[in-house]
Amino acid sequence: MFPSLNTIINRPTTISGSWPLLLFIENRSIYFIILKMMNRYNNNKSSIFLLGFVLVSLGLLVFYISKNKHNESIKYALLIGGGLCEIDNYNTFYNNIEYAANSLTQLGYDDNNVKILFYGGRSPEYPLIEGDATRCNVIVELGNYERIIDQNDTLLIFRAGHGSIELVDENYGILSNVNKVPMNENTNIIGTVAVMSFPDGPLSYIDFQELLGRLKALQIIVILSQCYSGQFAEITTKLANTVVVSETEEVGIAFTTNRTVNIWNHEVWPFVKCIFDGFLLGGCCESKPSVLTAFEYMLSCNPNVEGISIKADRPLLKETPQIKYGKRLTKGAVYISRP
């Protein structure tokens, strides 16, 4: 049985937050000035007064910088890609992740704020990768964001991998390759649930929603390029600050490598390339390229490509791929880039 959410969330982690200490260390020359001034005056009262004045001034400076830092808007991104094993870990998964990472760089995202997880972790073939794309690691990363993201920050999550619909048993929860009912017991199926499929077990849209609900972000943008991802869009009915862009409806197959489309000559999947191109091109026409702008561009990018089954003139938000917003967000108010 795969570990529970609480088991993973409560795992100790190290968060870097020592910048005030670094400020003092970097300004250690101030201390030498204080010492020289104290040596210059023999009066102990004057020395103590001077020292107190300087320390109070430094404290106010740290508070001022801390306040400004807190009010800054930081754009974070979590990119998750890859298969369940070597056989189904398609090269195009990495191409999609690489394209998304390069697009975010062009949109002004700081590389230090972009985390990339991929099947198997870092390797010579996958130089951008920082960690293995497992259910456990995704939960840990979202737990880290819970601690560092505030109400001024944004988070973009992009997923290029496998998805499925799993049966849910009353006693054993999600039934999968790592969580099974013993042979001598009867099952009591109470429903189904859409999941992200990982080597160490599935992450359901319900658990994913719970993790996102702990974040205090200004907005969360989720872009899913996986099969059976439509149910993840239901997250927006519970989380007012979230928008979900899904390549498929609840039942649907995402663009796969074994489909050959003559009019599509890119190694990146149509949905992925067009949605991120939409963000980039939107920046040329608007001061703030929105998710809606990118989505509209994606719809018109190549309406005849097999695999995303779209029509250029179809009503927006009606067929796959789909986009849904939380109630606090409006269609044009969710931005991937801010001035």
Q: What is the mean pLDDT of the chain?
A: 76
AA letter at 94: Y
Within 10 angstroms of residue 45's Cβ, the number of other Cβ atoms is: 8
Residue 5: band (very low, low, confident or very high) from pLDDT cuts 50, 70, 90? low
Q: How many separate helices (H) and strands (E) can be counted in the chain? A: 9, 11
Query: pLDDT tens-digit profile of 24-40?
Result: 444 555 555 555 555 55
AA letter at 333: A
Pick 214 or 262 by higher pLDDT: 214
pLDDT for 311 beyond 50: no
Query: pLDDT tens-digit profile of 233-248?
Result: 999 999 999 999 988 8
AA letter at 241: N
Residue 288: band (very low, low, confident or very high) from pLDDT cuts 50, 70, 90? low
Instruction: Kindly report whether the global pTM for this prediction surpasses the value 0.85.
Output: no
Is 154 within 8 Å of 219 (Cβ atoms)?
yes
pLDDT for 21 beyond 70: no
Distance linking the first and last C-alpha atoms of the chain: 46
pLDDT at position 118: 96
Pick 145 or 311 by higher pLDDT: 145
Is 307 within 8 Å of 270 (Cβ atoms)?
yes
Which CB contacts under 8 angstroms, 24+ apart, belong to 304-313? 304/263, 305/255, 305/261, 305/263, 305/264, 305/270, 306/255, 306/259, 306/261, 307/253, 307/254, 307/255, 307/256, 307/259, 307/261, 307/269, 307/270, 307/271, 308/247, 308/255, 308/270, 308/271
Within 10 angstroms of residue 51's Cβ, the number of other Cβ atoms is: 14
Residue 132: band (very low, low, confident or very high) from pLDDT cuts 50, 70, 90? very high
pLDDT at position 309: 39
Query: pLDDT tens-digit profile of 189-205?
Result: 888 888 999 999 899 99
> In the sheet where 189-198 sits, what is the strand order?
173-174, 163-169, 189-198, 201-204
pLDDT for 317 beyond 50: no
pLDDT at position 215: 97
